[in-house]
Chain A
Amino acid sequence: MEIEFHVTPLFAVARVSGELDLSSAAKFRNLFDQQLRKSGVPNVIVNLKNLSFIDSTGLGVLLGRHKAVKSWGGKFILSDVPPKIMSMLEMAGLMRVLDTARTEQDAIGLIESGGYANQGEASTNE
């Protein structure tokens, strides 16, 4: 599992590739939390286009990051979700909880127009 981050003042994009399971969950959590702490950016888009596998451990880690971002009023959006990952989210009931966008660009549009949290609000809650 690899994550590539792209950070702007309003949001970070985390492009995740590979497999998200017990063997990669801790790495995902650490990289993600570290990057958000460092940048202080409030909103996050997680692009899952190149995520090839997820199980319940991986879903739990995504939900945990969603809760963290939400706790400081930020927006957490999953984008480019492949069909098989989408069906796992649906089975887990996470589509009722997590926001998704068809593409990364759509997610950026949602954040830019949505009046979500501003920079600096993230770091206090991590």
Chain B
Amino acid sequence: MNNHMLIRFPNVSSNVSVARIAAATFASFKEFSISDIEEIKVAVSEAVSNAVLHAYPDCYGMIEVIMEDHDEGIQITVKDSGKGIEDIDKARQPGFTTMPEHMGLGFTFMESFMDELHVESQPGSGTTVRMVKKV
């Protein structure tokens, strides 16, 4: 059996750092470099921040982060059951943001720092972001 871990938490901003640290700790048992682990932390921070900021506007909702051993490294999935993304291609464009003082670089950083990034979303049914980092 491959090792795996699931953490589930409400859309509270302080949970961004908890999720990031959990992912970094999980990754530290693989042969990643310190710089790889820093990149994983940024990618998880971006994915969880997106879920906290956008998935459940003005209401409470749950977010899941699933960390799994992957053949060549680790896979991290960030999942919500919120409002979903209407246009994924648009949301993934560098600089696209709907919020003031935000850079719109979340997906760009996830894409740059991880080896694979898959985004699935249905309006009204939530969003799943799956990322793979290879050792």
One digit per residue, 1 when the CB lies within 8 angstroms of any chain A CB and 0 when it does not, for chain B 35-65 equals 1001001100110010011000000000000
A2 at the binding interface (Cβ < 8 Å): no
| Interface of B (DSSP majority class) | helix
Residues of B within 8 Å of A19, CB to CB, are 17
CB <8 Å contact, B101 and A55: no
Residues of B within 8 Å of A60, CB to CB, are 101-103
CB <8 Å contact, B102 and A57: yes
- Of the A-B pairs whose beta carbons lie under 8 Å apart in the complex, a sample of 20, sorted by A's number, is A21-B16, A21-B17, A21-B20, A21-B49, A22-B52, A22-B53, A23-B13, A53-B20, A53-B41, A55-B42, A55-B109, A56-B102, A56-B106, A57-B102, A57-B103, A60-B101, A63-B103, A88-B42, A91-B109, A91-B112
B residues at A contact (CB < 8 Å): 13-17, 20, 35, 38, 41-42, 45-46, 49, 52-53, 100-106, 108-109, 112
